Chain A
Amino acid sequence: MRPQVLQGIHFMNGDVACAEGAIAAGCKFFAGYPITPATEIAERMSDRLPEIDGIYIQMEDEMASMAAILGASWGGVKSMTATSGPGFSLMMENYGLGLMTETPCVIVDIMRGGPSTGLPTLVSQGDVMQSRWGTHGDVGVISLVPSSPQEMFDFAIRAFNLSEQYRLPVVILGDEIVAHMTEKVVIPSAEEIKLTPRRHPKVPPSEYLPFAPDDDLVPPMACAGEGYNVHVTGLTHDDRGYPVITPEAQKDLVSRLVNKIRKNANDILDWEEQELEDADIVVIAYGSVARCAKEAVRRARNDGINVGLLRPKTIWPFPEDRVKKLAEYVKLFIVPEVNFGQIAFEVERHSVYHAQTLLIPKMGGDIHTPEEILKAIKEMA
């Protein structure tokens, strides 16, 4: 039987790597509903979780899957689900409940072409804004965008850690190419993997306020069966967790939920950058597209063009300060993405009046070739 952490060098696809990352992070509960191109995650979990006495359950739909992982999380277990666009749409309701009730868990969304059933087997990056604004109301969210099977593994661990640290459902926004590509994945030993434990209350039940935050705006969490008698509700609530339907309570709660991400953004943010010091043009790309962007930037540099690359690894929160700084001296941002412009507008928003933004859209089905990006760089140089 295989151990929890499959230490060693593997040749794995992104979906399998993601499942292994989750298991290495201590995930013991998976609820899901099959959907291309995320099915392999469910299949791997159904294979691996019983080996480590975890629970795999295939639910009747994605609303149920999302609800079940929230329930499991309140039961004190690290939980995850995996889906793609149509299922992600169905999860928005309880994604909101998870954000409102500050429930740690992980949602993997492997993006495929939309809208609707769209392109079940082909790539897109169309869910970026959905992961930000797809559930109703104002929220602070965390979404990670892996570019390789290795990152599918690494980010799965990071997603669990962030979800425990900041108490929210964290989204891994993979895309079909990253999910289905098979590459080398290095899995470290269990000792080398740093895990963030759940923040338990330090006070007895009589003094515990379930939604009173610590200094970092995150409240410690008492799970079911620990004697704290917590009331958890999706209604606007006060520090006691009691529903309070007033503008004041709404302001207190929602601003904290938004600020706990904003104020901790520097801890959450992660990106890769390349040759930005003297860049006139910066390509901003994420996910599978970033791999082609990297190649395009390399070739353009060879041709003597001052171009750099910014590759966000966390797309939400967005590295807006970095973009603002770059906009002070950069002439142009080029944003290739497999959608009709989602992150490009975010880049534009943070660089407006200082630099131009050029979107290279793709409707989905395939990603940009390095030549396409290179062509745009050359035209604009």
Chain B
Amino acid sequence: MKKLLVLLIAVVFGGQMYGQTYNTFEPSKTQFMIRGYGHTGFEYMDSGDETESTFLGLAYAPIFLYKHSDRLMFEAELEFVLEGNQLETGLEYADVMYVLNKNITARAGKFLLPFGTFMERLHPAWINRLPNAPLGYGHDGIAPSSGIGVELRGAFDLGGPTLNYSVYATNGPRLNDGSDEPEEAGMLRFENYEDTNLAKAYGGRLGLLPFSDSSTEIGFSAYSTSDTGEQDSEYEDVGAFLFALDFSFVKQISGLGGVIDVKAQYNNSNVDTATYFELEDDILEEYSFDNQSNSFYGQLSYRPTMASSDFVKKLEFVGRYSDFNAPEGAEWEEKSVQYAFGLNYWLSWRSVIKLSYQTTETEGGHDGDGLTNTDGLFVHWAIGF
């Protein structure tokens, strides 16, 4: 990880110097941009017996773009987040892309995975209409967010409708076999910089925009690997198959005086059954379960862009439903349902103040077996630049 960072920083600053040395007032052949985003906020959470309120540390994510020619480009995103009192850094993605012809572009490196659309297209704070991700994404999520490998992607113009695709091979996920963290036995870990076995993960997404106004897109994604366990361990050939369905509809509707935006994604993860161990009163007990998880979210937002008042024009109303089901019998068994409501004020196309109320009902999960109801109030501020 450290080496990767040092290498990246070397590449980034080396490239920057190169870019600046040769940047005259004429557009140079190598074009360089620093973009990125930052967000911060305040949260108040109430889960019955416990209440918590906190200002959130700023997260800052610089993005570096180098366009070397009309075909060749490099993109990288670093992430700086304050976690507790520590600065956490991450390399969100770093990949090189080359346009082979009008229908095929190749990418290599660490890239956001087109598994559904949320992680690849909608998660940045200035794009996401709510302050957080739906259930099923993030640390304990079931959807892979990025991968290290190679990818081919592109689009076809069908004379009105368009079809887009991507196919990739990446280092596969790692199965948590419970030897270090017994409470997470059976979970897949996707943040995997070095593969622990020879099997790779293969996957892709097919998206169709059936109407010529590009308002609607439906997509199907699959992600599959034959081995997830450590090489030569008894878990080596525990395979996994994941799929996702996504939907998007964005259109300005005069009758409603504004833009309607609908987003939805369903994820399903299926891991081969294996035997795990747990320590019960100092005795090692075997157990196994049907390792299937799924999650869903549907979001509707409305911006009254055709309103006469300048203030009202910049408002946005959002509602989101999401649920997450982790396998019954697992130590991390969980059933959660969340309703989130939001009111946003758009300062510009890339900066927004978000006010949101969310209520989550969780059965099981990391924090115990009972039923917990958590109410949360969020004020977030995101800016892209």
A associates with B: no
- Using a CB–CB cutoff of 8 Å, the interface residues on chain B facing chain A are none
